[in-house]
Chains A and B, each alone.
Chain A
Amino acid sequence: MLPESLVLSAILFAIGVVGVLVRRNAIVMFMCIELMLNAVNISFVAISRFVGIEGQLFVIFVMTVAAAEAAVGLAIIISIFRHYGSVDVRNFRLLRW
């Protein structure tokens, strides 16, 4: 089932990329990033059958980093919402040229 799993992971990753590009809501962009992380996790799990248990261990670390990233990112979104009253990424142009 290796090729099917890798193709599924590629499809989900591409959907996540398209979602980040076409949405302007910062929270939905964040959800798309979570989807991309999950797509990579599928690849790790699929390959772990051939390389041993390390593939599955790496998924645990990816999940931890994803949880930390979600907590910090949502805190940033809340702080931005307090400042601008919206989570539309068009408002975030302080560091944009």
Chain B
Amino acid sequence: MELNQLVFYLFAGVAVASSVMMITRRNPVYSAMYLVVSLFSIAAIFVLLNAHFLAALQVVVYAGAILVLFLFVIMLLNLGHDFEPDVRGRFWWFFGLGLGLVLLAELVTLLGNLRGPAEVDLLTPLFQARGAVAALAESLFLNYVVAVEVTGILLLVAMVGAVVIAKRRV
């Protein structure tokens, strides 16, 4: 087995295990911490899949910004101390696990048999020619510049909305 594949399986195992821990811990702070572990392993998998810039973005945006926001809200609402046990009863576990297994079987039969042509690799020559960031940025700011603008407006709207909704009295 190649080293690449070994590292992939290692991080995939860590991601799956910490995700399972995330949905089974009763304390929301522990859940958030396991989510951080899961997101970091996903960043490592991005590196293995030839997406170095996205791996950095994953660490900065998810582990750095979104998770801090989650932890801040958990601490603000004081849910880390006097949390109520919130895991549903046995019926919901059977229902959820059954539904999850059915979904997993569907997705695996759909996706697991998908084989790309093994010799095709469009990214490596592009990254070698332009660099990992410039290749992304060129396509983003030349071909998809309207989408970037729309996403900027979306962020502005979300920011205003978050402030207005969380305000005590408008």
Real binding pair: yes
Please list the residues of chain A having a beta carbon within 8 angstroms of any beta carbon in chain B: 1-19, 21-25, 27-28, 30-32, 34-35, 38, 41-43, 45-54, 56-57, 59-61, 63-72, 74-79, 81-82, 86-88
Please list the residues of chain B having a beta carbon within 8 angstroms of any beta carbon in chain A: 4-5, 8-9, 12, 15-16, 19-20, 22-23, 28, 31-32, 35, 38-39, 42, 45-46, 48-51, 53-54, 57-58, 61-62, 65-66, 69-70, 73-74, 76-77, 79, 83-84, 86-88, 92-93, 95-97, 99-101, 103-104, 107-108, 111-117, 120-123, 126, 135-136, 139-140, 144, 147, 151, 154-155, 157-159, 161-163, 165-166, 168
Contact B66 A70, beta carbon cutoff 8 Å: yes
Q: Which of A1, A18, A24 has the most CB of B within 10 A?
A: A18
Interface majority SS (helix, strand, loop, mixed), chain B: helix
Given A9-B111, A21-B99, A27-B28: A35 and B5 within 8 A (CB)?
no
Cross-chain contact of B45 among A42, A53, A64 (Cβ < 8 A) = A42
Chain B residues closer than 8 Å to A4, beta-carbon distance: 5, 8-9, 12
Interface majority SS (helix, strand, loop, mixed), chain A: helix
